[in-house]
Structure 1
Amino acid sequence: MSSIWQEILGTSGARIEKDWVTDFGDAAAELAAAAATTIVVPLSHLGVIQVSGPEAATFLHNQLTSDVKHLNSDAAQHSAWCSAKGRMLASFLLFRIGSDYLLQLSADLLPAIHKRLQMFILRSKVSIIDLSGACALIGLAGPQAEAVLQTAMLPVPATPLSTAVFAAGAVVRLDESRFEILVDRDAALAVWQELSSQARPVGTTVWQWLDIQAGVPLISERTKEEFVPQMANFEQLGAISFHKGCYPGQEIVARTQYLGKVKRHLYHAHAATPMAAGDAIYSPANPQHPCGMIVNAAPAPLDGYDALAIVQENFVAAGDLELSAAGGPHLDLQPVRHPVTTT
């Protein structure tokens, strides 16, 4: 997060710790507002990589799990980059501004992913740039989100995972009531002031809770190389193409799909005590070894903490899972359901 963006948010009352917007003065009230109020959020937990050049689409198509070559200029898609063993190094929201491709990912992974991607350029006519210091990411959600965008003279993409560009950036529609705005640093102040005059500013953890409710996992430093994409429901999010050529880990991802060997699945989780990405999950049936892991977690509006967790299926039915250690706090699980999207 750039110093200019931090200064803008600071003058709006944001409390910032280590580039993280914790809240705007009342974390509990801000979280409670997420369920019924229109909110605006600095997405300080995310970063952006720009991939440009005449061979950008081909380069990304050969690296990522999704079908990049057929990504329309007004569309977004979920995607992932895997190791040779088929384990996710990072997850992305991928979209375009003109001929440039934008990869939105967990900010704590960005330096390593940026460096690693550059290693694969070889002779490709591609440039890869960390855009995080040159732009701001803003989330907007709630019943009046469309009206707020219109009043701010920003475009409103019509359908989920569609995009619309404007002079200083782009708007991505995530679902029926959530949008992300990527805006150039120089225009960030005006856009933030307009949005925050109509929607309640809230801390970044509120957006993380909304992502958890939507069942959209975000791979971070603590969970990289832990999961095959199907464990995180990425095939249901349209993040995997089974009709394209090779990419790192493709053989394992395809074999997992067609042989039906996914033994770990994504669940909504709730606990009375704090949870964090990377926390292990245990079952009394096998207390020596973890049977799952927390992917993302955030405080819940009513009480406790909500999370997305990936858990070995044969331990779920007993309903006796425990957090962090055998004998640890009780964990409640519910399946995550997505409309199946095939690519």
Structure 2
Amino acid sequence: MTTWLKFLAEQGAQLSAPVSENAASEVLSFGADTSVETARDNFVAPLTHLGLISAAGEDAAHFLHNQLTNDVEHLSIDEARLAGYCSPKGRLLASMLIWKTTDGVMLQLPREIQPGVQKRLQMFVLRAKAKLTDVTPNQVMLGLSGPAAATALMPWFPTLPVAIYGKVETAAGTLIRHPNAFEVPRYQWITTEVQAIEAWPMLTKILQPSGAAAWHLGEIDGGVPHITTVTQEKFVPQMINFELIGGVNFKKGCYPGQEIVARSQYLGKLKRRMMRASVTAQSAAPGTEIFSINDPDQPCGMVVNAERTNAQEIDCLVEIKLAAAESEVRLGSANGPALSFQTLPYPLTDPV
């Protein structure tokens, strides 16, 4: 157990057991918190489920530019961007958040898929002057949400990033603005264990300490998907709206799967998209198939991400045939619990 996890346990954190060899323990809750409602604002949550890869060297940005779906070479120092890593068939192996540092480029993605993605990227470095390093053990990531987050962050970040995915750096680390969720601002703070442990008592005087579920739920409300082990190679980026949220640049040139991704964009109306839904169910996990009652024998899509909102309901992002979304859709089978579709914070537009 890391120093950070030991510290959190001392603060009353209830930790999950890792679900796989590569996954990390997640914070489930703090203290005697038995609330059936997942926090939506004014919280701070340790994001131990995320991993970080540092790409350093004079060719690092160029190398990644030729591997990922977004423009890395022209990424400015004061912003972060979403990006995908695709198979040659144009299917997403990973979704990630990237940003530049003085030393190179950082790639943030779920810890459970990080080792495999890092190993695959490393295979293609060849003669490029770029080195990929897992720096997760040296970093702590905190998710902060709500109107009180700005006040809580002020001692370390007097100026906050205003634009979505805007970034500021101080001696205390990196702060990135994330898309609003539940109509409140969200930030991610990437820092050292020492800084996080020092800051925690001050942060939790203003913000409620919460489990990672609060951050997951905010990502779902914001319509931001995350590829996990069970959904690797399931989706072309447009199937989970990745180009609508800034994760794909169609002018940057080649990368693995680029021709297929471009063809999906320019050859007519898309037939599959990602939608937000809620369901009253015992569980809903990524990779779970969904079914239209009009075609009960064939799945019409699958769950991309899901998180419980309270004891009865779960919010989820689902990839689905648009035609099926006009019918009643159920989780797990045509006899499963019904999905109730919700609005996304952005329109589902067709390619132009």
* TM-score (normalizing by structure 1): 0.93
Q: Which amino acid aligns with 1:263?
A: K
Are 1:14 and 1:24, in contact at CA under 8 Å, matched by a contact in 2?
yes
> Aligned-pair distance for 1:50?
0.9
Q: Secondary structure at the match of 1:297?
A: strand
1:24 corresponds to 2:30: yes
Q: CA deviation at 1:31?
A: 3.9
Specify the alignment match of 2:21 in structure 1. Answer: none
Instruction: Name the residue aligned to 2:335.
Output: 327
Could you say which residue in structure 1 is the equivalent of 2:285? 276
Quote the Cα distance in structure 1 between the aligned partners of 2:347 and 2:152.
Answer: 28
Q: Distance in 1 between matches of 2:250 and 2:123?
A: 25
Given the alignment, which residue of 118, 124, 127 partners 2:128? Answer: 124
Query: 1:162 aligns to what?
Result: 166
Structure 1: distance between partners of 2:176 and 2:146: 15
- What CA deviation, in whole Å up to 9, does each residue of 1:273-322 have, x standing for no partner? 0211111101122222211110110011484100011101111111x111
CA distance in 2, matches of 1:299, 1:142: 19
Alignment-derived partner of residue 304 in structure 1: 313
Distance 2:262 2:105 in 1: 25
Percent identical among aligned pairs is 39
Secondary structure in structure 2 of the residue aligned to 1:260: coil
- Pairing 1:89–2:113 present: no
Deviations 1:215-236 (A, max 9, x none): 1001111111100001111111
Cα–Cα, structure 1 residues 148 and 119, in superposed 2: closer, same or farther, change >3 Å? same
Q: How does 1:1-343 map to 2 (within 5 A)?
A: 3-18=2-17, 19-25=25-31, 29=35, 31-34=37-40, 37-153=41-157, 155-176=159-180, 177-273=185-281, 274-301=283-310, 303-318=312-327, 320-338=328-346
SS at match of 1:211: helix
Question: Aligned pair in 2 of structure 1 residues 106, 32: CA closer, same or farther (>3 Å)?
Answer: closer
Summarize the Cα distance change of 1:161–1:205 in structure 2 as closer, same or farther, 3 Å threshold: same
* CA distance 1:217–1:46, change in 2 (3 Å): same
Give SS of 2:265's match.
Answer: helix
1:152 CA displacement:
4.4
Q: Secondary structure at the match of 1:7?
A: helix
CA distance in 2, matches of 1:234, 1:228: 9
Change (3 A) 1:168 1:323: same
Query: Is the 2:221–2:344 contact (alpha carbons within 8 Å) kept by the matching residues of 1?
Result: no
d(CA) in 2 for partners of 1:308 and 1:20?
Answer: 21
User: Whole-Å Cα distance in 1 between the matches of residues 348 and 340 of structure 2?
Assistant: 25
Distance in 1 (CA, whole Å) between partners of 2:276 and 2:248 is 22
- Gapped regions of structure 1 (runs ≥ 5): none
User: Residue type matched to 1:126 in 2?
Assistant: A
| Alpha carbons 1:30, 1:206 under 8 Å: kept | no
Note if contact 2:11-2:31 (Cα within 8 Å) is conserved in structure 1: no
* Shift in Å, 1:175: 3.1
**8 Å Cα contact 2:231/2:287 also seen in 1:** yes
8 Å Cα contact 1:31-1:206 kept in structure 2: no
Q: 1:28 to 1:277 in 2, by over 3 A?
A: farther
Q: Using the TM superposition, give the Cα deviation of residue 151 of structure 1 relative to its aligned residue in structure 2, in angstroms.
A: 3.4
Checking the alignment, whether the CA contact within 8 Å between 2:175 and 2:190 is kept in structure 1 is yes
Cα distance change on mapping 1:153 and 1:321 into 2, 3 Å: closer
Cα contact 2:38–2:213 (8 A) shared by 1? no
Instruction: Show CA shifts across 1:246-285 (max 9, x none).
Output: 0000000000000125211111111100211111101122
Between the aligned partners of 2:291 and 2:100, the Cα distance in structure 1 is 41
Taking structure 2 as the reference length, what is the TM-score of the superposition?
0.91
Displacement of 1:192 after TM fit? Answer: 2.4
Aligned-pair distance for 1:326? Answer: 2.6
Amino acid of the residue matched to residue 116 of structure 1?
A: R
- Give the whole-Å Cα distance in 1 for the aligned partners of 2:95 and 2:309: 24
Taking the aligned partners of 1:153 and 1:286, their CA distance within structure 2 comes to 53
Partners of 2:156 and 2:172 within 8 A in 1: no
Question: Contact (CA 8 Å) 2:156, 2:170: kept in 1 or not?
Answer: no
The change in CA–CA distance for 1:279 and 1:219 in structure 2 (over 3 A counts) is same
Aligned partner of residue 55 in structure 2, secondary structure:
strand
Task: Tell me the number of residue pairs that the alignment of Structure 1 and Structure 2 aligns.
Answer: 338
**Equivalents in 2 of 1:169, 1:339: separation in Å?**
34
Matches of 2:233 and 2:64, distance apart in 1: 19
* Shift in Å, 1:188: 2.3
